Amino acid sequence: MTTSTQESSILTVTQLTNAIKKNLESAYPALWLQGEISNCKLHTSGHLYFSLKDAGAQIAAVMFRGAASTLTKTPKDGDKVIVYGGLNVFAQSGRYQIQVLELRFAGLGELLLKLEELKKKLQKKGWFSKERKKPIPKMPKKIGIVTSPTGAAIQDILNILSRRFSGFHVIINPVRVQGEGAAQEIARAIQQFNEMDLVDVMIVGRGGGSIEDLWAFNEEILAEAIFNSKIPIIAAVGHETDHCIAEYVADVRAPTPSAAAEIVIAEKSQQVDKLNQARKQMDHFVSTILRRYRIALDGVLRQPVFRNPYLLLGPWMQKLDDTKQSLDLIVFQIFKQQRTALEARKKLLYSLNPQSQIINSQKRLVVISRQIDQFILRRVSIQSERLARVVSSLKAVDPKNLLKQGYSILFSEKDHSVINSVKSVKKSDKLRMLLADGEILSIIEEAIPKK
């Protein structure tokens, strides 16, 4: 190897450290590590610095403030812990360390290992399969709740159900939700609901807590009861991370008890929303029709015949006057003719002295008088019939008869004039409305001119 070749392969400390950093961090991006804490120090910045050691080695560790703020208690020297994070090379000091994202104390670690083993077992059995999950009924009438009767979860569920809807029945089966024997109580409550077929859907859960508090929902006996339930079950254990076994087996998983209550009544809520929307559409439809007919009515009312009734009645009234005048003239001429004839006969009678002629003439006069009367009666009857037909025609267009057909005439209460335009009135004016069977007094709330 030549000197120039040797010189070209020389690395700087930074280059070597960066190469190590790249290879180590890519090789161990995420890992679980168990050990004992030593040299633990909480910096004023909120970052936690410590070492993890066992009998043969130790490694530096750092837990930055964001992750450290999630700890329920600060670890101390001598604590046995399990940490999750990634390998990191701190170039400035040339050392490698683990950047911790999650820290659990050793006792909790054993629980987690046990939980993982149970998850794998039940998953192989197919208890988590989506194909076996039952649908939640859309409109349940009976809702079962399996939880603690004194916890916040039951209050949250009842508040949501009672505030949103009515018309369903809630049955609470009170159980312990943590501690020894809690899983058995919850499993038995689920079995009781199934044996007696009491409800349409069940909510099983509690209001969150640590993994130790939630452990009852990670036991196989409860998982088996949920799996065997013929009634759909919503698991509502109030936490977001590390789902419990019960949630994997349940038909639906809700993040909180309140969310479980919302899921139960979701379909009914949607139906109510649809009905409200339909009501709004119907209101709009009816308003549109009323607006259209109001415009049409305004157009009719603006016709000249409604502004001045005499435009409609005037010709008929004139025709009635002409007919009456003609009838009066005919009757007068008939009477005049008959009177003339009667006078001529009277003169003839006076010119005849014999008594018999007088008697005969009197008889003939009686006959003629009867004929005259009959003729007059016939003429009067004919003219009366003609007059009746004219009167009937006039009644057909009489405003009062038009009123009987649903029309009305508006008068101003102030000056008793006919109102024929919305421009002649204003808000709060008093009106008198003439109908077929009486009058109505009203006050204008709004005058809307035609657009």
Q: Could you tell me what percent of the chain has a pLDDT over 70? A: 86
Q: Report pLDDT for 226.
A: 92
Q: What is the pLDDT of residues 396-450, one digit of tens each?
A: 666 667 677 777 888 888 787 888 888 888 888 888 888 878 888 888 888 888 7
Which of the 8 DSSP states describes residue 62? E
The class of domain 134-264 in CATH terms is alpha beta
3-state secondary structure of 60: strand
Measure CA of the first residue to CA of the last residue in the chain; give whole Å. Answer: 102
User: How high is the pLDDT of residue 108?
Assistant: 58
Which pLDDT tens digit goes with each residue over 7-35? 667 888 888 878 887 887 777 888 888 88
Burial of 253 (0-12, 13-18, 19+ CB in 10 A): buried
Mean pLDDT of all residues in 222-227: 92
Phi, psi of 58 (to 5 degrees): -150, 160
What's the pLDDT tens digit per position in 132-182? 889 888 878 899 999 988 887 888 888 877 776 666 788 889 999 888 899
Class of domain 3-111 (CATH, top level): mainly beta
Q: How far is CA 379 from its chain centroid?
A: 78
State the DSSP H helix or E strand holding residue 121, giving kind and residue range, or none if neither.
helix 106-125
For residue 411, what are its two tokens? 């008068």
Cα distances (angstroms) measured from residue 138 to each of 141, 147, 157, 249, 264:
10, 23, 18, 21, 8
Mutual orientation of helices 152-164 and 257-264 as an angle, nearest 10°? Answer: 30
Q: Which of 218-222, 265-269, 401-405 has the highest mean pLDDT?
A: 218-222
3-state secondary structure of 318: helix
**What tokens appear for 356 in the block?**
């018999």
Of 423, 418, 310, 406, nearest in space to 431 by CA: 418
Please give the Cα distance from 388 to 370 (Å, whole number).
26
Residue 270: band (very low, low, confident or very high) from pLDDT cuts 50, 70, 90: low
pLDDT at 4: 52
Is residue 192 scored above 90 in pLDDT? yes
Model confidence over 352-399: pLDDT tens digits? 656 666 677 778 888 888 888 888 888 888 888 888 887 777 776 666
Question: What residues contact 323, with CB distance under 8 A and at least 6 apart?
Answer: 386, 387, 390
Amino acid symbol at 72:
T
Average confidence score pLDDT of the chain: 82
In the chain, where the domains are located: 3-111, 134-264, 306-395, 404-443
Whole-angstrom Cα distance, residue 107 to residue 113? 10
CA distance 167 to 49: 58
Cβ contact 200:168 at 8 Å:
no
CB-count burial class (<10 Å; 0-12, 13-18, 19+) for 164: middle
Angle between helices 257-264 and 266-301 (to 10 degrees): 50
Amino acid occupying residue 150: T
Nearest to 96 by CA among 139, 59, 142: 59
Rg (CA), the chain: 53
Token pair recorded at residue 230: 């013929």
Lowest mean pLDDT of 56-70, 214-228, 276-290, name the range: 276-290
